[in-house]
Chain A
């Protein structure tokens, strides 16, 4: 079974600074998808950024970018110019392809999460 590991339970950053959240995963597949989700306290989980494993180019979304190292099975998230609104729990997630009863489908496996605090 695929596993996702986030080794940093908590991280903190000063407003306007840059922070990097780490994620590693274990898989024997070559084709898969990786995601970072953000979950503010008591609020909805929302997608931050996604990466296709077959693409070598790292994904970027405004202040958010990833460093995808396929051989190392590493997928870190960099937040530039951190803002107070970035404070949340961040989850790394892996989507692999599964088969059951002749049906193929994707399934997300989440890491344990990293709590990000932003200091003014």
Chain B
């Protein structure tokens, strides 16, 4: 089974520039997550999709961050404009299960994209 794919692995940009990350979840996984992991901290959920609908984006800074999941498969996360405090690893994860199904199914993580803001 192929895992969660993310690209790029690394990205360096200057503040105020824009950047986009891509994620392809495990085939058949309905739920997709984007996390922000600042160095030395645990991941923080930014947004959660169920198929192509958003179920939780309460911690997404919507003035600069946006995300979409077209056709309920791949997803992109965009930052525009980037700030210094956005330097972090951005993790994508996916899990099986449907909305309303509460189970112990784990999330499977990608390798992440390490973003550095100069």
Chain A residues within 8 Å of B, Cβ to Cβ = 4, 31, 33, 35, 37, 43-47, 50, 52, 91, 93, 95, 97-98, 100-101, 103-113
User: Helix, strand, loop or mixed for chain B's interface?
Assistant: loop
Is B106 at the interface (CB under 8 A from chain A)?
yes
**Given known A103-B50, A103-B99, contact A108–B55 (CB-CB < 8 A):** no
Complex alpha-carbon distance, A108 and B110, angstroms: 16
How far does the alpha carbon of A40 sit from the alpha carbon of B48 in the complex, in Å? 24
| Chain A hits for B112, CB < 8 A | 44
Nearest CB in chain B to that of A55: its residue: B104
Other contacts beyond A47-B107, A113-B41: 17, CB < 8 A: A4-B42, A33-B104, A35-B106, A43-B111, A91-B42, A93-B42, A100-B55, A100-B56, A101-B55, A103-B99, A103-B100, A105-B31, A105-B48, A105-B56, A110-B43, A112-B40, A112-B41
Residues on B with beta carbons closer than 8 Å to the beta carbon of A93: 42
Contact size range, B: 20 to 34
Tell me if A44 and B42 are in contact (CB < 8 A): no
Assess whether B91 is interfacial by the CB under 8 Å rule: yes
- By the criterion CB–CB under 8 Å, are A107 and B42 in contact? no
**Distance (whole angstroms) from the CB of B37 to the closest CB of chain A:** 9
In contact, A107 and B109 (Cβ under 8 angstroms): no
* B55 and A103 within 8 A (CB): yes
* Cα–Cα distance between A119 and B10 once the two chains are bound (Å): 30
- Which residues from chain A contact B97 at a C-beta distance below 8 Å? 106
Complexed CA–CA distance, A95 and B33 (Å): 14
For A103, what are the chain B residues with a Cβ–Cβ distance below 8 Å?
Answer: 50, 55, 99-100
Asked if B109 and A105 sit within 8 Å, CB to CB, the answer is: no
Cα of A104 to Cα of B99 in the assembled complex, Å:
6
Residues of B within 8 A of A37 (CB): 109
A68 vs chain B, min Cβ distance (A): 13
Given A100-B55, A108-B45, A113-B41, check contact A44 B100 (CB 8 Å): no
What distance in Å separates the Cβ of A88 from its nearest Cβ neighbour in chain B?
Answer: 13
Q: Is B81 an interface residue (CB 8 A)?
A: no
